């Protein structure tokens, strides 16, 4: 069974199973309908896995449809990024990409049909007045003085709207439903409004644009969607979805089902908010590796498999909840631990000189790419008299618990020899500048004969052959688990969410694939940055640490 397997059932799959069993449907057709007003985020991944996953498992179809009815906010850059992200996640839409704007003519026709049936009217109250007249949850709405216009008058006014004879906000088309309904969406919702904006597909053809509720159900019906899956905030809108389809001459009537949105701790999950972070330069673009966007996660080193696994583990329900970031990270670690090649890098380097090792000698050691996976092959790493080790891996004195390099003691260099620290040099401030060691030439790949096996193993990089690299360490983007509670969510941004280090990496990493994560032994998972890394400068992003240090910190409190 595929990853989003039919056996991993949820309430939507149960509905589908029933519909297939009863013969209500023979095939299943879903759609993923993003509005191209930003990059996709991990919440969208949940919807993508659900819609495309269902189509795949039931041998049905899934459309990619751009819900492009708001020309002011939409952009072709977003259309391209969305297509790329869906493909990168491992899904392919059926047929050509669909656009709601493809149906503008048809939607216009259905609007006229509603007017002719006396079910829609041209409103001339201001948006402010419309809001006031709508009433509240406890108070019924009031009727607009324009509500009872004749069909002929409405037809001619709607035509005027279409011809650009009304300024924006001076007129709109409303459905004539029920101003006393307990569902606010049913209190004569707006179907069309005037917008003098160039549309990325239809250019200047239209100056009236259909609203989401009017567009969505009709687009679903035109495309033959069987199950229209959306998030819970559209629950009430289902009444309107059905009302529109019940009142026009259209062959099919898809059904809408709602599931809960994905919320993740320490981040925000709305394109509007993410776009503020971008426009205010609080991050470096939509694909900043700290962003919860698909493009950001990808640049950070996330794999499509880890994201799909995460969506599978969180499931699809109607319960609103917020998922811990560690749930996402643990899917990634499970994948990378199994599949990421190993490499060595030193982030905070201090020099080690091996005094009894020949000057100018470089030895090439062949080492496995993965400790448990011979199928991943081997690579060559150079060893030399001078190497870098991590500053925190050396102490002049230490107790037995410290299993790294200590003066007078031995430690194994990962994949290489055992060394013993003899003495060290310091600068005027007392910082260690160089550690002098001796090595035992008989210990390459074996333990010493006459000695105890050393407990510690530390990583290293040849100082002669290693390559300098910029290494970017990331932390959560926000300081609060739920940044949405603040009036100004941007004030909760974590100013320490990016720390830049300069270290050294083994030379094999010069030709690493961009975005492919490696395990830097003993440190964490890192990948070459897609944008900022080039032949002259290597830039690595920390994808995720080796362990969930965050959970541990919480547990200790």
Q: Which residues are catalytically annotated?
A: 35, 261, 271
Closest separation in Å from C-beta 39 to ligand ATP: 10
C-alpha to C-alpha distance for 240 and 217, rounded to whole angstroms = 9
Residue 454 interacts, among ligand ATP, Mg ion, none and using kind-specific CB cut-offs from 5 to 8 Å, with none
**Contact pattern for Mg ion over residues 8 through 47, marking x by CB under 5 A:** ---------------------------x------------
- Residue placing its CB nearer to ligand ATP in the complex, 47 or 100: 47
- Residue placing its CB nearer to Mg ion in the complex, 90 or 292: 292
- Residue placing its CB nearer to ligand ATP in the complex, 86 or 120: 86
31 touches ligand ATP by CB under 6 A = no
Instruction: Name the one range near ligand ATP by CB under 6 A: 29-37, 113-121, 439-447, 515-523.
Output: 29-37
Of 134, 147, 261, 414, the one binding ligand ATP (CB under 6 A) is: 261
**With contact defined as beta carbons under 8 Å apart, do 267 and 273 qualify?**
no
- Taking CB atoms, the residue at the shortest distance from ligand ATP is 43
Write the DSSP string, 195-242: ----BTTTBTS-SEEE-HHHHHHHHHHHHT-SEEEEEGGGTTHHHHHH
Residue 304 interacts, among Mg ion, ligand ATP, none and using kind-specific CB cut-offs from 5 to 8 Å, with none
**With contact defined as beta carbons under 8 Å apart, do 70 and 34 qualify?**
no
Phi, then psi, of 62 in degrees rounded to 5? -135, 125
270 touches ligand ATP by CB under 6 A = yes
Closest separation in Å from C-beta 508 to ligand ATP: 39
98 touches ligand ATP by CB under 6 A = no
Q: Which of residues 57-76 bind ligand ATP (CB under 6 A)?
A: 67
Of 4, 13, 30, 33, the one binding ligand ATP (CB under 6 A) is: 33
Could you list the residues known to form a binding site for ATP, using ranges: 35-37, 41-47, 231, 261-262, 269-271
CA 361 to chain CA mean position, Å: 47
Give the CA angle between residues 476, 481, 487 to the nearest 5°: 105
Strands, E assignment, 405-495: 405-406, 410-413, 418-426, 432-440, 457-458, 460-462, 467-474
Residue 185 interacts, among Mg ion, ligand ATP, none and using kind-specific CB cut-offs from 5 to 8 Å, with none
Closest separation in Å from C-beta 191 to Mg ion: 18
Closest separation in Å from C-beta 276 to ligand ATP: 12
Could you list the residues known to form a binding site, using ranges: 35-37, 41-47, 67, 212, 231, 261-262, 269-271
Q: Which of residues 222-241 bind ligand ATP (CB under 6 A)?
A: 230-231
The residue count for binding ligand ATP (CB under 6 A) is 15
Burial of 83 (0-12, 13-18, 19+ CB in 10 A): middle
Question: Comparing C-alpha atoms, which of 164, 211, 217, 155 is closest to residue 188?
Answer: 211
Query: Running DSSP on this structure, what letter comes out for residue 453?
Result: P
93: CB partners within 8 A, 6+ apart: 32, 52, 62, 63, 64, 86
- Residue placing its CB nearer to Mg ion in the complex, 170 or 195: 195
Question: From the DSSP assignment, how many helices (H) and strands (E) are in the chain?
Answer: 13, 29
200 touches ligand ATP by CB under 6 A = no
CA 69 to chain CA mean position, Å: 24
The residue count for binding Mg ion (CB under 5 A) is 1
**With contact defined as beta carbons under 8 Å apart, do 505 and 469 qualify?**
yes
Pairing of strands 349-354, 432-440: parallel
C-alpha to C-alpha distance for 423 and 441, rounded to whole angstroms = 19
**With contact defined as beta carbons under 8 Å apart, do 121 and 155 qualify?**
no
The continuous run of DSSP H or E covering 121 comes out as strand 120-123
Query: Running DSSP on this structure, what letter comes out for residue 176?
Result: -
Residue 434 interacts, among Mg ion, ligand ATP, none and using kind-specific CB cut-offs from 5 to 8 Å, with none
Closest separation in Å from C-beta 35 to Mg ion: 4
Closest separation in Å from C-beta 188 to Mg ion: 22
Give the CA angle between residues 360, 361, 364 to the nearest 5°: 140
Closest separation in Å from C-beta 119 to Mg ion: 26
Could you list the residues known to form a binding site for L-glutamine, using ranges: 67, 212
- Residue placing its CB nearer to ligand ATP in the complex, 72 or 499: 72
C-beta atoms surrounding 56 within 10 Å:
20
Of 13, 16, 29, 34, the one binding ligand ATP (CB under 6 A) is: 34
C-alpha to C-alpha distance for 227 and 220, rounded to whole angstroms = 9
Pairing of strands 460-462, 386-390: antiparallel
Paired tokens of 420: 């013993």
- Residue placing its CB nearer to ligand ATP in the complex, 264 or 332: 264
C-alpha to C-alpha distance for 180 and 495, rounded to whole angstroms = 49
Residue 193 interacts, among Mg ion, ligand ATP, none and using kind-specific CB cut-offs from 5 to 8 Å, with none
262 touches ligand ATP by CB under 6 A = yes
First to last CA, the chain: 42
Chain positions contacting ligand ATP, by CB under 6 A: 33-35, 43-44, 46-47, 67, 230-231, 261-262, 269-271
Chain positions contacting Mg ion, by CB under 5 A: 35
């Amino acid at each position: 069974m595929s990853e989003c397997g039919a056996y991993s059932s949820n309430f939507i799959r149960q509905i589908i199973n029933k519909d297939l069993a009863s013969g209500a449907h023979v095939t299943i057709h879903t759609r993923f309908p993003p509005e191209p007003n930003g990059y996709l985020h991990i919440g969208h991944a949940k919807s993508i896995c659900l819609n495309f996953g269902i189509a795949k498992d039931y041998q049905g179809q899934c459309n990619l449809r751009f819900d492009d009815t708001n020309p002011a906010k939409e952009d072709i850059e977003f259309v391209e990024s969305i297509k790329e992200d869906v493909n990168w996640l491992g899904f392919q839409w059926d047929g050509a990409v669909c656009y709601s704007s493809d149906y503008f003519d048809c939607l216009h026709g259905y609007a006229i049909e509603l007017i002719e049936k006396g079910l829609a009217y041209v409103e001339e109250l201001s948006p402010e007045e419309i809001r006031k007249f709508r009433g509240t949850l406890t108070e019924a709405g009031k009727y607009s003085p324009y509500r009872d216009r004749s069909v002929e008058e409405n037809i001619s006014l709607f035509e005027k709207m279409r011809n650009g004879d009304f300024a924006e906000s001076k007129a709109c088309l409303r459905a004539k439903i029920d101003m006393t309904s307990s569902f606010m969406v049913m209190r004569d919702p707006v179907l069309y409004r005037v917008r003098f904006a160039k549309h990325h597909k239809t250019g200047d053809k239209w100056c009236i644009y259909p609203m989401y509720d009017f567009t969505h159900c009709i687009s679903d019906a035109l495309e033959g969607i069987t199950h229209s899956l959306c998030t819970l905030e559209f629950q009430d809108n289902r009444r309107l979805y059905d009302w529109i389809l019940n009142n026009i001459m259209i062959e099919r009537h898809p059904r809408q089902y709602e599931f809960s949105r994905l919320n993740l701790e320490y981040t925000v999950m709305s394109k509007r908010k993410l776009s503020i972070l971008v426009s205010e330069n609080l991050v470096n673009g939509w694909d900043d590796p700290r962003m919860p966007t698909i493009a950001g996660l990808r640049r950070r080193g996330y794999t499509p498999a880890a994201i799909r696994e995460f969506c599978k583990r969180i499931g699809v329900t109607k319960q609103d909840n917020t998922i811990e970031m560690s749930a996402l990270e643990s899917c990634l670690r499970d994948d990378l631990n199994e599949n990421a090649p190993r490499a060595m890098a030193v982030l905070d380097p201090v020099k080690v000189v091996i005094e009894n090792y020949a000057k100018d000698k470089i030895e090439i050691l062949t080492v496995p790419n993965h400790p448990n996976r011979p199928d991943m092959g081997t690579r060559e790493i150079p060893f030399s008299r001078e190497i870098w080790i991590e500053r925190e891996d050396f102490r002049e004195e230490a107790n037995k618990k410290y299993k790294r390099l200590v003066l007078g003691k031995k430690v194994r260099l990962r994949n290489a020899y055992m060394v013993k620290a003899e003495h060290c040099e310091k600068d005027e401030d007392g910082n260690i500048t160089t550690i002098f060691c001796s090595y035992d030439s008989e210990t390459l790949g074996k333990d010493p004969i006459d000695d105890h096996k050393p407990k510690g193993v530390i990583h290293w990089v040849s100082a002669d052959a290693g390559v300098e690299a910029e290494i970017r360490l990331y932390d959560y983007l926000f300081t609060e688990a739920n940044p949405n509670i603040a009036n100004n969510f941007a004030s909760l941004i974590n100013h320490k969410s990016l720390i830049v280090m300069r270290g050294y990496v083994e030379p094999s990493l010069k030709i690493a694939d961009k975005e492919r994560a490696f395990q830097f032994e003993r440190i964490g998972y890192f990948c070459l940055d897609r944008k900022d890394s080039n032949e002259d400068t290597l830039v690595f992003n920390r994808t995720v640490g080796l362990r969930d240090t965050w959970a541990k910190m919480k547990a200790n409190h």
